[in-house]
Amino acid sequence: MLSPPSTNPPPAPAAGDKKTWSVGTLSYTAGGLALLFVWLLFGDFAYMMRERSAAPVAQLMLKKYQATDFVTGIFLLTIPWTIILIAGPTMSYWSDRYRSRRGRRLPFLLLPTPFVTLAMFGLAFSPRIGPVLHRLFGGDPATVNHTILLTMGFFWMVFEIGVVISNAVFNGLINDVVPREWLGRFYGLFRAVGLGAGILFNYKIIGHAEQNYTLILASIGLIYGVGFTLMCLRVKEGDYPPPVAAARSNPVLGAIGDYFRDCFAKPYYLWVFIFLGLANTAFVPVNLFAIYAAKSYGLTMETYGKYLVVTFICSFFLAFPLGWMADRFHPLRVGLGALLLYAAMMLAGFLWIHDPKSFGLVFLAHGILSGTFFTGTAAISQMLFPQLKFAQFAAAAGLIAAFMNMLLGPVLGALLDGLGSDYRFTFLVGSVLAVISIGLGLFVHRRWQQHGGPAGYVAPE
């Protein structure tokens, strides 16, 4: 079982004692560390089943009810990233400074879980709720799809508010309870579990999503609600030093000022935020419209799902080695290597795709290389940001990414509408974004070395 937290740092083990690992006031034996990993990864499985299912099923529902590419971009990028812009910094700042019997992270993970679950049920039943509302308000039968899309949009906003809160805090929990020398390997396992959820969904479920979206969303919502709640009840946080109190005439404006001074006053972190935001958006164009692209080249959802399964299997077997590489060489370097390969392959793919087979091969390369990036850089925030204020710095990075994605969604959707939905251009846009990200990443790498590099990096505060 997990060793109980103490208020004092653990003493150095005497000769012959069992090896222990510590983070803050928490100390683990090998068995305690293994049990921690089991519960975190159990929660991650429920979490990733939600992540892997909600967006692709929603995409199919949007297309079924005649949403344009522009509306899809608004729905799947602008709405969630607008919520991130508002809720992410607020929840992360509050979480960093919150103290309770259950810790500073777990209350923020437990509270939104039932709302996310209920929102998934609402999304699942939107095609039935929408027509009822349409008739109730005397709508024209010819525009019933508009009401269905609006109903989906409402539940999607509720869903995303809960998701944003849990996303802002979940990595903070991992940062607080997982020993730093295990972060890279833990995130390798973390990614492997997420990929396992992706394999299950795309091999067994996505082929039925167009006909059975109600059952799929409702079932996965229930799995998420139960699984994530159990994880929150079983994982324990340690003790934290009291937050620094500041005398302010206006607590709200003072907190906002503290947040922006902490996160945005140092140019180094601004460059890190911009690099991370742009690097993550490099994979968005293909991911956002992959289902529509597959259908445009004549692939069934079952065949599309099998392509995804192959990418997830490859990424699954790469997950732990990439985690080891991140611990050995640093996530920043692993990420730059992945971006370089991605930029080259996506440019080649844009020039080469001409039929279902060539699309499938380039899509496989996209999946494997994007998976390499996300696995290799999974611990990058923990290794670059200050530990005690980690969540608010991670949310600040999300703030920059939010602006980028809020712009990218509708712009890319409008571009594709103007190009006659030629989804081959998503590969070109991804390649261009990756090239720009590499230039920014090399600059960040140089600054990171100036702050100590691999041997003695200290996050500036």
Interval 325-356: pLDDT, tens: 888 888 999 999 999 999 999 999 999 988 88
Helix axis angle for 284-296 and 356-376, nearest 10°, is: 160
Burial class (CB in 10 A: 0-12, 13-18, 19+), 267: exposed
Four-residue CA torsion sign, 318, 321, 324, 328: negative
pLDDT at 247 over 70: no
Contacts (Cβ under 8 Å, ≥6 apart) of 158: 115, 118, 119, 122
C-alpha to C-alpha distance for 190 and 18, rounded to whole angstroms: 26
Question: Is 452 in a helix, a strand, or coil?
Answer: coil
Contact 162, 113 (CB under 8 A): yes
Domain ranges of the chain: 29-238+250-456
Q: What is the pLDDT of residue 245?
A: 60
6 band by pLDDT with thresholds 50, 70 and 90: very low
Q: How confident is the model at residue 428 (pLDDT cuts 50, 70, 90)?
A: very high
Q: With beta carbons less than 8 A apart as the criterion, state whether 390 and 454 touch.
A: no
- For domain 29-238+250-456, the CATH architecture is Up-down Bundle (1.20)
What single string gives the DSSP state of each residue in 93-129?
HHHHH---TT-SSHHHHHTTHHHHHHHHHHHHTHHHH
Check whether 229 has a pLDDT greater than 90: yes
- Structure confidence by residue, pLDDT tens digits, 354-365: 888 899 899 999
Q: What is the DSSP letter of 11?
A: P
253-259 average pLDDT score: 63
Q: Taking the CB of residue 222, how many other CB atoms lie within 10 A of it?
A: 14
Average pLDDT over the chain, rounded to whole? 84
| Whether pLDDT at 198 is above 60 | yes
| pLDDT for 369 beyond 90 | yes
| Residue with more model confidence, 244 or 439 | 439
Give the model's pLDDT for residue 251.
45
